[in-house]
């Protein structure tokens, strides 16, 4: 099954993507991983991407799309894939429709995990992380045994810059402006299905599983 997973920061995409991968036995495809692999292996597209990154420039769509096409063409994607973080714009979505059909691996389902902005801010702004060992905590859902101290190594917990309320408002507004056209694009194609991300983790996946079963 060929799937795109969408959702704002804090909506639970990471948790749900793991469950989808297990349920469907398909690879997780992210543009970040593709860029890192191509640059590490010094492929032609990797070298090209690195040249833009080194100049502090955005990598052009044609380079990103080339990497996506190469990755989706591999044997491990023959039974499906889960795309995360791509597409981000309408031109990318249109290009994906073309290339996916060219390699006979068209997008079959777009899952949009939806959540209220206030709840997202509550979820993310409460995150705390240990800078030493990487353990994660939450002021509401997963408190350390000693306030602001990591259970594992005793280091003082920190809040990442991306998790502050100010940063979150910027990120969520950018996501909304960027993603709304994509939701409309895939909805018009009959591919986009929205799931309520405010439910429990299990209930969210139950809804996703129903969508997956409908497409299988």
Report the distance separating Cα 75 and Cα 57, nearest Å. Answer: 32
Report the distance separating Cα 194 and Cα 207, nearest Å. Answer: 9
| Active site residues per annotation | 13, 88, 127, 160, 171
Phi-psi region of 172 (alpha: psi -120 to 50; beta: other; left: phi over 0): alpha
Per-residue burial over 92-106, b = 16 or more CB atoms within 10 Å of its CB, e = otherwise: bbebbbebbeeeebe
Q: How far is CA 114 from the centre of its chain?
A: 13
Report the distance separating Cα 107 and Cα 94, nearest Å. Answer: 11
């Amino acid at each position: 099954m060929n799937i795109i997973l969408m959702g704002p920061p804090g909506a639970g995409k990471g948790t749900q993507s793991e469950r989808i991968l297990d349920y469907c036995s398909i690879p997780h495809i992210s543009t970040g991983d593709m860029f890192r692999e191509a640059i590490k292996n010094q492929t032609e597209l990797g070298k090209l991407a690195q040249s833009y990154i080194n100049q502090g420039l955005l990598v052009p769509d044609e380079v990103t799309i080339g990497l996506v096409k190469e990755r989706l063409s591999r044997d491990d994607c023959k039974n499906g894939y889960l795309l995360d973080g791509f597409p981000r714009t309408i031109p990318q979505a249109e290009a994906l429709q073309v290339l996916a059909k060219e390699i006979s691996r068209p997008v079959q389902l777009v899952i949009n995990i939806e959540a209220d902005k206030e709840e997202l801010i509550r979820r993310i702004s409460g995150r705390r992380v240990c800078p030493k060992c990487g353990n994660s905590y939450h002021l509401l859902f997963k408190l350390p045994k000693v306030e602001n101290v990591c259970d594992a190594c005793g280091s003082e917990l920190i809040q990442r810059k991306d998790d502050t309320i100010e940063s979150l408002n910027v990120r969520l507004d950018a996501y909304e402006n960027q993603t709304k056209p994509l939701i409309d694009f895939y909805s018009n194609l009959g591919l986009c299905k929205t799931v309520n991300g405010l439910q429990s983790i299990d209930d969210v996946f139950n809804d996703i599983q129903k969508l997956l079963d409908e497409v299988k």
